[in-house]
Amino acid sequence: MITLNGKEKDYLNITVEELLVKEGYENIRVAIELNGEIIRRNSFGRTLIKDGDNVEVVSFVGGG
């Protein structure tokens, strides 16, 4: 079980890159925070998300 953008999800031993594909974020430019730490884009493929991790996926929206 992980927490993704505030919601609990049943993922185990999955990389950030795989998570983004499974959740439909692969075509959006996002930034990732894993347990409060930013994960650089070039590390998405080798960063493993573990049980109990908290993941935030953020992107841009319109704003002033």
Partner 1 sequence: MTEAGPKLFYGNYLNKNVFSRNTDKNGLRFKKWKIYTMDRNEKLVLGKYEFNSRFILGSGKYSLDLIKAAVENAGAEIITLALRRAVSGVDSILDYIPKGVKLLPNTSGARNADEAVRIARLSREVCESDMVKIEIMRDSKYLLPDNYETIKATEILAKEGFVVMPYMYPDLNVARDLYNAGAASVMPLAAPIGSNKGICTKDFIRILIDEIDLPIIVDAGIGRPSQACEAMEMGASAVMANTAIATAGDVPAMAESFKKAVEAGRTAYMTGMGRVLEKGADPSSPLTGFLED
Contact positions toward partner 1, by CB under 8 A? 5-6, 23-25, 27-33, 38, 40-41, 56-64
Smallest separation, CB 12 to partner 1 (Å): 20
For 10, phi then psi, to 5°, come to: -90, 75
Distance (Å, whole) CA 18 – CA 30: 14
**Dihedral sign from CA coordinates of 13, 18, 22, 25:** positive
Shortest separation between residue 63's beta carbon and partner 1, angstroms:
3
Q: How far is the CB of 49 from partner 1 (least distance, A)?
A: 16
